[in-house]
C-alpha cells in the first residue's frame, strides 16, 4: 500500500473503528469493497456520487467477519516456526522447490535428502504436495497402528486419514480411528505418541488417570512428545495449506 493510499479516515462498525480510504477509478464499472486485515478500500467509478460511509455501514457485518478471519490468518502466519520456502517432514525442515512441469514431465513430488521438489502441472503445487503428504502419512500411520495395536491388545475397526482442524486424532466408541495427515510433519516418535494416545482410548474413553497410565506404559516420554506438538503446531499449518 503506497503512502498516497494510506487510510486517512475511520468509521465505527459495530464496536470496532475500521480505517478506510476511498479511490475513484475510471476503469470501475461499479463500486467495490476491498478488505484487508488492517483496513478497507472503497473503490468507486469516476464521478460516482455514492456515499462510501453508506456502503461501509450496509456491509458492516461482512466486513468485520472477513477482517476477523484475515487477522486470524495473519496472526497464525506471523507465528510460523519455519522460514519461507521450507516445510517439515518427519520433524526435519525441508527446502521446498516448486517447478512447472515441462512437456515431457509428469506432475509429481520428489523427496531428496533435505529437499522436496514439487513438479506441478494440471493441479496447483500445494494440491499435489498435500496429496503426497497425506499418502505418506497414511503409510506411516497405518504401519504404526498395526504395531501398537498388537502390543496393546486392541483391534481398531477402521482407520482413516483426515484433515481435522482442531485434533491430531480421534477414536470413536465403535473403534474407528482418525488421524490428521499433518502428523507426517512431526518426528516419528511424536506420531507414535498420537497413535498410542488414540489406541488407549479403546480401553479408556476418557482422560482419566487410568487412561494416562496406559499411555505412559507404552510411551514413557509422552509429555515430551505432547509438548513438541504444542510448540510446533504453527509450523504444521503453513500458509501453503490454508483452507
- Could you report the per-residue pLDDT of 195-211, keeping only the tens digit for each? 999 999 999 999 999 99
Strand-pairing partners, residue 109, are 118
C-alpha 118/C-alpha 128 separation (Å) is 7
Q: What is the dihedral of CA 234, 235, 236, 240, to 10 degrees?
A: 100
pLDDT value for 199: 97
The per-residue pLDDT for 77 is 55
Give Cα 181 distance to the centre of its chain: 11
Residue that has been written with the C-alpha cell 463500486 in this structure: 31
CATH fold of 121-241, please?
Answer: Zincin-like (3.30.2010)
Selection from 22, 84, 82, 29 nearest residue 56 by Cα: 22
What values do phi and psi take at 76, rounded to 5? -65, -45
Task: Say if strands 176-180 and 158-162 run parallel, antiparallel, or are unpaired.
Answer: parallel
At residue 70, the pLDDT reads 87
Q: Name beta bridge partners: 42.
A: 22, 33
What are the cell numbers at 82? 519455519
Please give the full DSSP string across 23-72, using - where no structure is assigned.
EEESS-SS-EEEE-SS-EEEEEETT----HHHHHHHTHHHHHHHHHHHHH
Q: Which residues of the chain are modeled with pLDDT < 70?
A: 1-6, 76-83, 104, 238-243
Q: What are the beta bridge partners of residue 19?
A: 10
What are the cell numbers at 175? Answer: 473403534
Number of helices (H) and strands (E) in the chain: give both, helices first.
6, 11
Domain boundaries, the chain: 3-78, 121-241
> Would you say 46 and 24 are in contact if contact means Cβ atoms under 8 Å apart?
yes
Instruction: Give the whole-angstrom CA distance, residue 132 versus residue 108.
Output: 8
Its pTM surpasses 0.85: no
Amino acid at each position: 500500500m503506497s503512502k498516497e493510499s494510506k487510510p486517512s479516515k475511520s468509521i465505527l462498525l459495530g464496536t470496532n473503528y475500521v480505517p478506510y480510504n476511498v479511490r475513484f477509478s475510471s476503469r470501475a464499472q461499479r463500486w467495490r469493497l476491498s478488505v484487508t486485515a488492517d483496513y478497507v478500500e472503497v473503490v468507486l467509478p469516476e464521478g460516482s456520487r455514492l456515499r462510501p460511509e453508506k456502503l461501509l455501514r450496509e456491509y458492516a457485518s461482512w466486513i468485520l467477519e472477513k477482517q476477523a478471519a484475515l487477522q486470524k490468518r495473519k496472526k497464525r502466519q506471523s507465528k510460523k516456526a519455519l522460514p519461507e520456502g521450507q516445510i517439515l517432514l518427519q520433524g526435519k525442515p525441508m527446502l521446498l522447490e516448486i517447478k512447472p512441469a515441462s512437456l515431457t514431465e509428469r506432475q509429481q513430488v520428489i523427496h531428496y535428502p533435505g529437499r522436496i521438489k514439487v513438479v506441478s502441472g494440471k493441479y496447483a503445487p500445494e494440491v499435489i504436495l498435500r496429496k503426497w503428504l497425506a499418502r505418506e502419512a497414511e503409510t506411516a500411520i497405518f504401519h504404526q497402528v498395526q504395531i501398537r495395536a498388537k502390543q496393546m491388545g486392541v483391534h481398531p475397526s477402521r482407520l482413516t486419514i483426515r484433515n481435522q482442524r482442531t485434533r491430531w486424532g480421534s477414536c470413536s466408541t465403535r473403534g474407528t480411528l482418525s488421524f490428521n495427515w499433518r502428523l507426517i510433519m512431526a518426528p516419528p516418535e511424536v506420531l507414535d505418541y498420537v497413535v498410542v494416545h488414540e489406541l488407549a482410548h479403546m480401553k479408556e474413553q476418557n482422560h482419566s488417570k487410568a487412561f494416562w497410565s496406559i499411555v505412559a506404559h507404552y510411551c514413557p516420554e509422552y509429555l515430551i512428545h505432547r509438548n513438541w506438538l504444542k510448540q510446533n503446531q504453527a509450523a504444521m499449518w503453513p500458509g501453503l495449506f490454508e483452507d
